[in-house]
Amino acid sequence: MAGSIEELAETRDGVALTSALAVDRKALIESFEVVMDRATRQPRLVLEVAGRLLKDFASITLGNSDIAPTPKDARFKDASWQENGLYRRLGQSYLAWSHAVDDWLAKSGLDGINRERARFILDIMKDLGAPMNTLLGNPEAMQKLVETGGRSVWQGITNYIEDIRHNHGYPAVADRHAFELGKDVAATPGTVVYRNELLEVIQYRPTTATVQSVPLLYVFSQVNRFYLGDLTPDRSLFRQLLDAGIQVFAVSWRNPTEEHKQWGSTAYAEGDDSRRRSGA
């Protein structure tokens, strides 16, 4: 995970808000300070960009603007963004503002890591300001509200509470109750043949009378679980390998808690070295 804007600059692909989850508050504040410092030092540029933005707003209000999202922008896939006058103007206003932000950055003179810091915080601001991230500004959400008689909003509130209780307030990417470990996920039989403070090594039970002499050991990254290779029974890589007569082993990393906060890459490397020395 990226721990600073400097690291994030190397992997900026994706949604800014998602990336922000891996950056500490201090880094965000420093990025915001970069933008504010440059803006206060260049009031003429700010006024120039703001002036063009006001002209765009006027054109949008009068219905004369040709500002439109790119065909690849899935946020505007609902037909209401083109067919409904209110939503069309709302979307155009957001795009005009986003273009103004990008225009300011391009002309700000920022370079190097400060430019990446500014781009990062500005991308977050653009995501926060996107109308489709609100109920009233999202035609699909409003349609769902009507179709479900308000139940969609209640479900959203329930999901939010669940995220606060079980996911540190971050949006969950899957229903935590939809799968049962050992039944729907990680259902291939196996035995723990080695264990230390950091990890366990699982040997999966062969499904053929004979097996190949050279086994396969899967070591997933520490942020992934061992059952990444053993999803549903009909989509299990490990099960397919076993059926082909290949011995399969996998490393299961311990899920660290507060008491393990001092663990870093060195600790994991030493733990794996200990496993190799033991002959596991």
Q: Show the DSSP H helices in the chain as ranges.
A: 5-8, 16-20, 25-41, 43-61, 80-83, 85-107, 112-128, 139-147, 151-166, 237-243, 265-278
Structure tokens that stand for 22 in this block: 């891996």
Does residue 10 have a pLDDT over 50?
no
User: What is the pLDDT confidence band of residue 271, given thresholds at 50, 70 and 90?
Assistant: low
What DSSP state is assigned to residue 206? P
Average pLDDT, the chain: 85
Structure tokens that stand for 244 in this block: 């082909």
CA dist., res. 211 & res. 156, Å (int): 50
Contact 204, 249 (CB under 8 A): yes
* pTM of the shown model: 0.60
User: What is the pLDDT confidence band of residue 35, given thresholds at 50, 70 and 90?
Assistant: very high
Report pLDDT digits (tens) over 132-182. Answer: 999 999 999 999 999 999 999 999 899 889 888 877 777 776 666 666 776
Q: What integer pLDDT is reported at residue 263 of this predicted model?
A: 82
pLDDT over 90, % of the chain? 59
Does residue 17 have a pLDDT over 70?
no
Does residue 240 have a pLDDT over 70?
yes
